[in-house]
Each structure stands twice: as structure tokens, then as C-alpha cells.
């Protein structure tokens, strides 16, 4: 058994700062705690990357097994502070203690000296992360600092306690290190040497005599084989052979009102909305950041940002950044900017997006530092046409990184220009003024053009969106276009057998001889989206009946002038079936979907709408007569 134990840090003769004030600084943010954890921890990971290789970043939640919990208690309760000074004991005594680990690989680990009073030519990552509070890693093209961001791990722990397990290179050789670290309120208490004051910082590891440090004892990390052995006993994943990196294990994580599944899905979504520029393939075809989320051994999907309806427009704007923003008077480049008009996706954005400021419609600029880490989504004026919006991206120039970094709060989630003065204020203020001017221009009425260059009238698009939301036919008459004839059958036109006519929520159906109508369940309202840059309508549904069935689309359009047309006017655009998209699998590019047995999957009918019309759609399924 290791001799590792806890030691509470005393104030030295020269004083010293505690960590509780930093906990309060981060806790004052409006960001959700799990979002804050993702944002701050990934900055540390990105800053520690090695060369140009990708960084692997993983967040994992697991409940300690009955065989593991006693080992945790034996290892971590040795000389642990009393509950009034640190709530660790209460967390370890829970019936099923949980652990949230944040791991990065492709990073250099926490190397350098382990004592803060040692001067070395090596990097001081261990001291900066574990020992010193508020020290800045002032390095070009880095995302943040170890000052406040590292405390986010303690804020995410009900016990304010973490274990830091790292592998780094020391004098050219690999070395693993393991140390515990907790932060709570400073306090004074009676000791055998009289009343002493303590900083509220507590360390777990190899307690050393403080000779040469004013007589105060201190804690060194476990190293080498002992560090690996204790980490294994605690259930921490070993590092791959030859790899360097860091795992921070958060004891008794704070999940808020969410259960474990909800919390880990939130973390996966927070990754997408805050880290998406790093998820896009680089010049070598690989994303700079590889993300994974694991919940009790199960992978939680992390969405491709190009498939998230309210986020994809920002990806398009990012890829279209072609405008340089400058301060001509000071002859400084401020950043680059791109903006894309869009047709707003249907439905509400995710809870993570809403917290980030994208509440309903998209009319925002994503502000980001030169390292492509999202700062915030700045809301601009909404276009008068309800269906329309815009997404923009402003990336600060590397020469402006110092200026914008100085304007950020401890949580790095805003640019507070009023904090700056002199030329720095003039530069940052000019950048935001240009961004806001571009958003005002984008909010003025105009004709939108989709990715394939087809103009769509905003007035008609407004009616299209209204029709989709309410299921009403809209103004004018309705033309109903029959589905393609099935094998062995003949379509008889809009009014004959096989035609479907719009009636309220769905369509009234005429069924051919020897066939039966199969039941279809609509899972939500049809929504407008994009596919390969072109607008499409999507209707999600499930088939309820067993047996072979043929599924077809029933499409109708509302046109001006009133009256019903059995066939579309010559040369007129009509809605077209793109295909059928299963919940998991490739698109079935066919006007008719055939199933041979019971199919419980969620399907999506994908249709290209007719411009300048209200396009209506429904799903029809038929099986053999019973």
C-alpha cells in the first residue's frame, strides 16, 4: 500500500493566496458548469499539444464498482481534512461514488520541476498547473492560461477534489506523476504548535519534510512505477505505450439536475457548439481535435457540426471567411470575417445552443480567438422576414490575440472592450463595430440565394414556413401531384385511385383494389433544412404495421390565383422526392420506399420544395390486402 496521504497547506511567514476566491470567480459566470468544464479544460489541452499532430480529448463518467470504492476510501481518506474544511469524506462515503475523467493525448503532459522554488530551463507546466494560482501561460497562439481555467476541475467536483495523473518527458525520459489536489475555504485551527492558519489548499501524495522552506512540509507527486500502480488501483486508464498526456479525475462530479445520461449528452453537445472549428478536417484531412465522450463504458455520439441544423451555417461562414477587417488609422489588421445568409432551420436549437445565445432564429456572429476556439455567439439584429437569418464568423488576427485576451473575463466567454484603454480599446472597439455593421446590413430585406444559386423570394418563403408550421394550405389553390405509379398499377391522376388530397392535418386516401392502407406515425412537423447546400423539406415518420409495404410521398403545392389544378402549369417547378433517409444508414434515392418485413426504424422523407410556393407533403403506405 502506498504511503500517500493528505497535507493541508499552511500560510507561510510571507502569506499567500488560497484558491476559494478563484472558485467564486468562475462560479459567477452564466455558463453551465459542464459547458465551462469543456471550454476551459480543452484550452489547457490544446495549449499542451505536441507539434502539429491531433489532440485526443476524452471525457468519461463512471460509477466506482463495489470492489473499487473501498480502495478509493483507503487511499484517499488517509489524513484527509475534516469535513468542515473539505467535503471529500462525504463524497467518498456515498453509496455509489462517481468519477468524471478528462484526458488528453498528443500533448506533452505536466513536465518540469515539481517544486515551485526550483528554477529550471525546462517548461514549468507541473508547477503552473498544480502549484501556482493565477500564473499566465503567455505563449503565442495559445488558447488560455493555467490561472483560472485549471480551477474549473475543482468547481465541477462536489468535493472540490481532483487527482492529476500525467506522463511527461523529464531530461529526455518518460516519467509518470500522480498527485491529488483540493481547494476549499481558508481557515484557522488549533494544532500541536498552537493556532495556525491554512490556505484552504490541500495536497495528496508523498509528504516531504520542509527543510529549506521555512520548516513547512509539502507534498510531492508519486512518480514512476508507484504512480502507475496507484493509478491502476484507482481505476485510471494507463497511458498508451510511449505516449504523453494528462488525466484529471474529478471526484464526485456535479451534474446539476441532470441524470448521468443527460449530463454526458450535454457535454457532447457542448463540445460541438464550443469546439466545432477544431473538429473540421485540416489540410491533411484530419481534424486537429478528436473528441470522445464515454458514459459508463458506452460511447456518446459527438455530432458532426456540419449536420447540426442551427450550427452548420456558421461552418459555411467560417469556410467563406474572405474579408479582412482593419483599423486604417492605426494600420493594424484586426481579423477576418465571413457571413452567410440563410433560411432558418425549423425547430428549436439544443439547450446548449440556447445557453450560448442562439435561442430561436440564427442571426449571430461567432467570435473566436486566432486558435479557433469559440469565445461567444454575438447576437445581431434579426431580419424582418421571419424565415431568414444569417450566420457569421469573426476570427481575431494573431497580432490582436493579446488585446482580445486582455478583454476577456476569467471564463474566456466574452470580449469586454470597456476593460481596455488607449490603442487597445480603439482596436478592439473597431473590430466589434465592423462586425455589428455587417450584421445590420445582413438584416435588411433582400432576396436570398441558396448554395446552388436559385433565388428564393422572401415573401413566398415566409408563406412556405408558415404552411409548414401550421399544416395549412396557405393562400391560393392547391395543386396535388400524384405519386409515381407502382409496378403493376396505373396512376389515375389527381382525382382517381391512388391520388391523395390535402385535408386538415393529413391526406384523405383512395386505395386501389387488393390493397390496404398501412398506418404511418408522424414524429413531428415537417421542417426546412439543407442538403448539399440546397433547401429541402424533411418529414420524420415510422411505419406501424408488419409485413411488406410500399411507401410513397404525396406532394402538393399552393399557388396564387385560387382553384385546383390537376396538373402543374407547363414549365412550372414542382416538388420532387430526393429520397428516404433512415435514422442510421445511407439515403435511399428512390421515389418509392419498399420494405419486405416489419420496419421499426425512424425514417425521413426528403423533398426538394418548389420555389415561390407553399409545399405540402405527406407519407402514404400500402400493403397487400389481408
Q: Given this model, what pLDDT does residue 319 score?
A: 93
pTM of the model: 0.71
- pLDDT band (50, 70, 90) for residue 615: confident
Give residue 53's Cα distance to chain centre: 22
Give residue 188's Cα distance to chain centre: 42
Q: Given this model, what pLDDT does residue 17 score?
A: 59
- Give CA–CA dist 582/578, Å, rounded: 13
Residue 582: what are its φ and ψ, rounded to 5°? -75, 165
- pLDDT band (50, 70, 90) for residue 485: very low
| 620 pLDDT above the threshold of 80 | yes
Thinking of the domain 5-303, which architecture would CATH place it in? 2-Layer Sandwich (3.30)
Is the four-CA dihedral 527, 532, 535, 539 of positive or negative sign? negative
- pLDDT band (50, 70, 90) for residue 495: very low
- pLDDT band (50, 70, 90) for residue 555: confident
Which residues make up the CATH 3.30.565.10 domain(s) of the chain? Answer: 5-303
| 626 pLDDT above the threshold of 60 | no
- Give CA–CA dist 382/439, Å, rounded: 9
3-state SS string for 390-453: EEEEEEECHHHHHHHHHHCCCCCCCCCHHHCCHHHHHHHHHHHHHHHHHHHHHCCCCCEECCCC
β pairing state of 363-368 and 388-396: parallel
Decide if 557 contacts 617 (C-beta within 8 A).
no
Stretch 324-335: mean pLDDT, rounded?
95
Choice among 57-61, 479-483, 574-578 with the minimum mean pLDDT: 479-483
Decide if 273 contacts 366 (C-beta within 8 A).
no
Reported as a single tens digit per residue, the pLDDT across 157-212 is 999 999 999 999 998 899 999 999 998 888 777 777 778 888 888 999 999 886 55
Reported as a single tens digit per residue, the pLDDT across 403-412 is 999 998 888 8
Helices (H), 291-376: 312-319, 351-356
Residue 260 or 14, more confident: 260
Q: Is 424 exposed, middle or buried (0-12, 13-18, 19+ CB in 10 A)?
A: middle
Decide if 65 contacts 177 (C-beta within 8 A).
no
- Give CA–CA dist 461/463, Å, rounded: 5
Q: Given this model, what pLDDT does residue 464 score?
A: 39
Mean pLDDT of the chain: 80
| 467 pLDDT above the threshold of 50 | no
DSSP per residue, 87-131 = THHHHHTSSS-EEEEEEEESB--S-S-SSTT---SS--HHIIIII
Stretch 502-518: mean pLDDT, rounded?
45
Amino acid at each position: 500500500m502506498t504511503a500517500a496521504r493528505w497535507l493541508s497547506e499552511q500560510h507561510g511567514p510571507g502569506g499567500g493566496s488560497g484558491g476559494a476566491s478563484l472558485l467564486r470567480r468562475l462560479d459567477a459566470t452564466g455558463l453551465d458548469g459542464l459547458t465551462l468544464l469543456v471550454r476551459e479544460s480543452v484550452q489547457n489541452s490544446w495549449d499542451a499539444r505536441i507539434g502539429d499532430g491531433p489532440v485526443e480529448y476524452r471525457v468519461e463518467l463512471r460509477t466506482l464498482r463495489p470492489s473499487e470504492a473501498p480502495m478509493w476510501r483507503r487511499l484517499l481518506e488517509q489524513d484527509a481534512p475534516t469535513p468542515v474544511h473539505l467535503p471529500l469524506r462525504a463524497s467518498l462515503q456515498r453509496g455509489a461514488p462517481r468519477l468524471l475523467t478528462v484526458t488528453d493525448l498528443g500533448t506533452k503532459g505536466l513536465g518540469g520541476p515539481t517544486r515551485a522554488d526550483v528554477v529550471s530551463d525546462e517548461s514549468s507546466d507541473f508547477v503552473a498547473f498544480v502549484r501556482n494560482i493565477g500564473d499566465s501561460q503567455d505563449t503565442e497562439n495559445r488558447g488560455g492560461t493555467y490561472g483560472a481555467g485549471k480551477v474549473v476541475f475543482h468547481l465541477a467536483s462536489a468535493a472540490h477534489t481532483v487527482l492529476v495523473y500525467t506522463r511527461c518527458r523529464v531530461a529526455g525520459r518518460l516519467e509518470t506523476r500522480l498527485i491529488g489536489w483540493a481547494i476549499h475555504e481558508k481557515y484557522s485551527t488549533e494544532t500541536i504548535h498552537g493556532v495556525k492558519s491554512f490556505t484552504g489548499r490541500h495536497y495528496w501524495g508523498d509528504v516531504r519534510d520542509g527543510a529549506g522552506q521555512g520548516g513547512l512540509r509539502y507534498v510531492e507527486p508519486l512518480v514512476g512505477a508507484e504512480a502507475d500502480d496507484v493509478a491502476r488501483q484507482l481505476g485510471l486508464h494507463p497511458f498508451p505505450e510511449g505516449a504523453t498526456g494528462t488525466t484529471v479525475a474529478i471526484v464526485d462530479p456535479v451534474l446539476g439536475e441532470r441524470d448521468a445520461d443527460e449530463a454526458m449528452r450535454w457535454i457532447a453537445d457542448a463540445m460541438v457548439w464550443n469546439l466545432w472549428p477544431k473538429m473540421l478536417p485540416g489540410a491533411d484531412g484530419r481534424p486537429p481535435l478528436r473528441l470522445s465522450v464515454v458514459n459508463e463504458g458506452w460511447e456518446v455520439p459527438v455530432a458532426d457540426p456540419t449536420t447540426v441544423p442551427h450550427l452548420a451555417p456558421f461552418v459555411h461562414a467560417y469556410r467563406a471567411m474572405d474579408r479582412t477587417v482593419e483599423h486604417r488609422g492605426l494600420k493594424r489588421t484586426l481579423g477576418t470575417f465571413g457571413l452567410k445568409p440563410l433560411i432558418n432551420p425549423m425547430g428549436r436549437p439544443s439547450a446548449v445552443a440556447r445557453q450560448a445565445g442562439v435561442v430561436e432564429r440564427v442571426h449571430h456572429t461567432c467570435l473566436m480567438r486566432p486558435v479557433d476556439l469559440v469565445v461567444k455567439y454575438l447576437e445581431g439584429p434579426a431580419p424582418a422576414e421571419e424565415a431568414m437569418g444569417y450566420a457569421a464568423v469573426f476570427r481575431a488576427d494573431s497580432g490582436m490575440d493579446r488585446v482580445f485576451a486582455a478583454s476577456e473575463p476569467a471564463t474566456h466567454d466574452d470580449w469586454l472592450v470597456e476593460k481596455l484603454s488607449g490603442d487597445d480599446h480603439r482596436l478592439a472597439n473597431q473590430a466589434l463595430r465592423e462586425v455589428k455593421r455587417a450584421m445590420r446590413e445582413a438584416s435588411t430585406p433582400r432576396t436570398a440565394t441558396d448554395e446552388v444559386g436559385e433565388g428564393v423570394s422572401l415573401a413566398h418563403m415566409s408563406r412556405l414556413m408558415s404552411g409548414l408550421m401550421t399544416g395549412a394550405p396557405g393562400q391560393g389553390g392547391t395543386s396535388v401531384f400524384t405519386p409515381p405509379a407502382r409496378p403493376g398499377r396505373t396512376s389515375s391522376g389527381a382525382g382517381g385511385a391512388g391520388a391523395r388530397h390535402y385535408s386538415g392535418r393529413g391526406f384523405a386516401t383512395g386505395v386501389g383494389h387488393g390493397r390496404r392502407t398501412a398506418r404511418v406515425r408522424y414524429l413531428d412537423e415537417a421542417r426546412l433544412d439543407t442538403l448539399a447546400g440546397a433547401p429541402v423539406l424533411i418529414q420524420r415518420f415510422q411505419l406501424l404495421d408488419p409485413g411488406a409495404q410500399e411507401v410513397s410521398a404525396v406532394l402538393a403545392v399552393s399557388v396564387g390565383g385560387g382553384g385546383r389544378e390537376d396538373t402543374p402549369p407547363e414549365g412550372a417547378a414542382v416538388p420532387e422526392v430526393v429520397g428516404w433517409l433512415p435514422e442510421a444508414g445511407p439515403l435511399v434515392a428512390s421515389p418509392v420506399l419498399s420494405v419486405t418485413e416489419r420496419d421499426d426504424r425512424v425514417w425521413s422523407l426528403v423533398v426538394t420544395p418548389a420555389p415561390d410556393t407553399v409545399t405540402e407533403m405527406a407519407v402514404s403506405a400500402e400493403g397487400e390486402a389481408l
